[in-house]
């Protein structure tokens, strides 16, 4: 059976970008394939090195995984640092990864530019550790967002080099995967780029956000002066609002606002109100589960321990 693996870094709370880019696919895939979903707490260390926050984030991502519908009865759910064999493979793969290609990685360049004082070797070899995460299970499919495509390409390269040097077909080549075929990029609310934790608090809608917070963030989202002529092209910030609407609203609602845009009758206030309401409807049941689960440390411990059958090092 084909194997599926994916993970999310534990660097803070998860948001709608994580949900629609990754988690939604995890939840669907778990019933179809042999699935491994983990919490990338070692990858988190490349940029987030506060030990107290790191522990908290591991617990919070685990809670969010379960609240979104990952089922420990059908998928293997674990914490990256609880599978130290990953580091052994990482060491071997490091011998097959070249400084030049690592330095050219888009995510590396971006992070190095953002934090010039913390360009650590772990950041440089981030794609190698990610390849080890995937190859250790010999996974074929990796449900991730569009921003991870380059990392997957590198994982295929490392797998090929390993196979070539040591044993043909030892590792399968892993591919990024999305149910809708195209990889999804979920935009943020500030007009450009993707929804992310580090792009400012108002850019992302977190799965834990309450109704008022969602409303406030959406009402603040960037808009322009409105369409100047019928059927015109949308500027990026408006396109983004429509992309988000598409994710959380029904097709009639989307069509209604598309028509309003096209005949220049659109009122951004109405669009935002609708978007906020549909986001609230979407997030509320997840948030309620998160709040519930978070009280239950014993259950979370049990879930994290389940696959590896040993005490969990980092959870609490």
Just list the catalytic residues.
Answer: 111, 194, 197
Tell me which stretch binds ligand TRP (CB under 6 A): 62-70, 127-135, 210-218, 258-266: 127-135
Binding mask 135-164 for ligand TRP (x = CB under 6 A): -------x-x---x--x-------------
- The closest of 102, 118, 111 to 9, measured between CA atoms, is 111
Least distance in Å: CB of 296 to ligand TRP? 26
Task: Categorise residue 37: left if φ over 0, alpha if ψ from -120 to 50, beta otherwise.
Answer: beta
* Binding range to ligand TRP, per CB under 6 A, among 128-136, 237-245, 256-264, 275-283: 128-136
Scanning the structure block, which residue is given the tokens 């080549």? 173
Nearer to ligand TRP, 59 or 141 (CB): 141
Strands 175-177 and 34-40, by their bridges, are unpaired
Is 40 among the residues that bind ligand TRP (CB under 6 A)? yes
In order of 21, 162, 232, 260, 274, the CA distances from 256 in angstroms are 25, 53, 16, 6, 11
Q: Does 9 bind ligand TRP (CB under 6 A)?
A: yes
Distance of CA 121 to the CA centre of its chain: 23
Give the distance from CA 247 to its chain's centroid: 15
Return the H-helix or E-strand segment holding 85.
helix 85-94
Give the residue with the Cβ less far from ligand TRP, 23 or 304.
Answer: 23
Q: Is 133 in the site for ligand TRP (CB under 6 A)?
A: yes
CB of 277 to ligand TRP, least distance (A): 29
Q: Give the shortest CB-267-to-ligand TRP separation in angstroms.
A: 36
DSSP assigned state of 37? E
8: contact with ligand TRP by CB under 6 A: yes
Q: Which is nearer to ligand TRP, 127 or 191 (CB)?
A: 127
Residue 8 Cβ vs ligand TRP, minimum distance, rounded to whole Å: 6
Residues 6+ apart with CB under 8 A from 284: 211
Q: Of 1-9, 81-89, 196-204, 304-312, which part binds ligand TRP (CB under 6 A)?
A: 1-9
Contact flags string 202-231 toward ligand TRP, x per CB under 6 A: ------------------------------
Residue 25 makes contact with ligand TRP by CB under 6 A:
no
Burial of 94 (0-12, 13-18, 19+ CB in 10 A): middle
Provide CB contacts within 8 A for 269, sequence distance 6+: 219
Other Cβ atoms within 10 Å of 245 Cβ, number: 21
The residues binding ligand TRP (CB under 6 A) are 5-9, 40, 43, 130, 133-134, 142, 144, 148, 151
């Amino acid at each position: 059976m084909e194997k599926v693996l994916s993970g999310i870094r534990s660097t803070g709370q998860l948001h709608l970008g994580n949900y629609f880019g990754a988690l939604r696919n995890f939840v669907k895939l778990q019933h179809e394939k042999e699935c491994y979903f983990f919490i990338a707490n070692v990858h988190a260390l490349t940029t987030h090195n506060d030990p107290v926050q790191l522990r908290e984030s591991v617990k919070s991502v685990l809670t969010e995984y379960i609240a979104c519908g990952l089922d420990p009865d059908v998928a293997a759910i674990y914490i990256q640092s609880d599978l130290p064999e990953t580091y052994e493979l990482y060491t071997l793969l490091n011998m097959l990864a070249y400084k030049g290609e690592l330095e050219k990685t888009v995510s590396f360049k971006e992070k190095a530019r953002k934090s010039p004082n913390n360009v650590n070797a772990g950041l440089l070899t981030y794609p190698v550790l990610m390849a080890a995460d995937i190859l250790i299970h010999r996974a074929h499919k990796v449900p991730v967002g569009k921003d991870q495509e380059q990392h997957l390409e590198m994982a295929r390269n490392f797998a090929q080099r390993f196979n070539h040097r040591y044993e043909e077909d030892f590792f399968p080549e892993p591919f990024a995967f999305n149910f809708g075929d195209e990889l999804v990029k979920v935009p943020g609310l500030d007009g450009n780029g993707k929804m992310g934790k580090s792009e400012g608090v108002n850019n992302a809608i977190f799965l834990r956000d309450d109704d008022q917070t969602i409303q406030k963030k959406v009402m603040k989202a960037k808009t322009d002066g409105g369409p100047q002529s019928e059927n015109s092209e949308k500027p990026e910030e408006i396109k983004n609002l429509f992309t988000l609407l598409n994710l959380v609203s029904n097709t009639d609602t989307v069509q209604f606002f598309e028509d309003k845009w096209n005949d220049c009758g659109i009122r951004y206030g109405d669009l935002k109100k609708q978007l906020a309401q549909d986001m609230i409807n979407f997030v509320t049941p997840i948030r309620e589960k998160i709040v519930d689960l978070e009280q239950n440390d014993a259950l979370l411990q049990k879930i994290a321990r389940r696959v590896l059958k040993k005490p969990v090092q980092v959870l609490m």
